[in-house]
Amino acid sequence: MSSPKPADSRADFSADTLDWQKGEGLLPAIVQDAATRRVLMLGWMSREALEATLHTGRVTFHSRSRQRLWVKGETSGNFLALVRVEADCDGDALLVQALPQGPTCHLGRTSCFADAPGDVLAELDALVAERERERPPGSYTTVLFEGGTRRIAQKVGEEGVEVALAALAERDEALLGEAADLLFHLLVLLRARGLSLAEALRVLAERRGRAQREG
């Protein structure tokens, strides 16, 4: 449940609100991983490409070299599943949030921008979700999942105690290491319950919103 879901083909976004004239019929489209927030690539969209993206749920661009529509992944199979499209304040650029189904870059990298920053915790959550689905033998995460929720909860409790003890008696490096262990086991516990980091963060965002409204 966790991860952002691919968009419904009836996505509520209209191409009519955009400034197509400024770029002679093309708009730059920045693609961002909806789960990790990493910038994946920059492409160009015509009105037809945007409408195809919204209709099919697969991110589609206008190829300036071939002068035709092309679906990202049409040859590699590494499609981009649409989650959301947003226009900038001037209506002449697009932010496309998507879930990549394999490497986005033709060089086999996650992103066309080699050092594009991402959310490390969200990336770890995605890896934990993959481990939960596939249960690869020899993986510590697999051992945790097969031990059941009770055992994972026990590990979270143990790691929480170790964090508290490190805060009182250990150096910063030890505290940071224990905190990282706690975060990892917490992600596993959430996933064992069918939940995710994104949902926990949503709760925090709602609380922040209430606090801001209440002054």
Amino acid at the residue 142: T
pLDDT, residue 1, reads 40
Taking only the tens place, the pLDDT of each residue in 180-214 is: 999 999 999 999 999 999 899 999 999 998 888 88
Q: Output the CA–CA distances (angstroms, integers) from residue 204 to 21, 34, 154, 189, 198, in the order listed.
A: 41, 18, 24, 18, 10
Residue 22 CA: distances (Å) to CA of 3, 35, 171? 35, 31, 57
Rg (CA), the chain: 21
Percent of the chain with pLDDT over 90: 81
- Domain 120-214: CATH class, spelled out: mainly alpha
Q: Which residues contact 20 (CB under 8 A, 6 or more apart)?
A: 26, 27, 47
Q: Please tell me the least confidently modeled range out of 13-22, 125-134, 175-184.
A: 13-22
What are the pLDDT digits (tens) for 123-166?
999 999 999 999 999 999 999 999 999 999 999 999 999 999 99
Over 50: is that where the pLDDT of 2 sits? no
- Domain range annotation of the chain: 15-100, 120-214
As a whole number of angstroms, the distance between CA 87 and CA 16 comes to 12
| Dist CA 108 CA 99 (whole Å) | 16
Q: Do domains 15-100 and 120-214 have the same CATH topology?
A: no
- The model carries a pTM of 0.72
CA gap 139, 126 in Å, rounded: 15
Please give the CATH number for the structural domain made up of 15-100. 3.10.20.810
| Model confidence pLDDT, tens digit, residues 67-92 | 999 999 999 999 999 999 999 999 99
Task: Calculate mean pLDDT across residues 33-48.
Answer: 94
pLDDT level of residue 15 (50, 70, 90 thresholds): confident
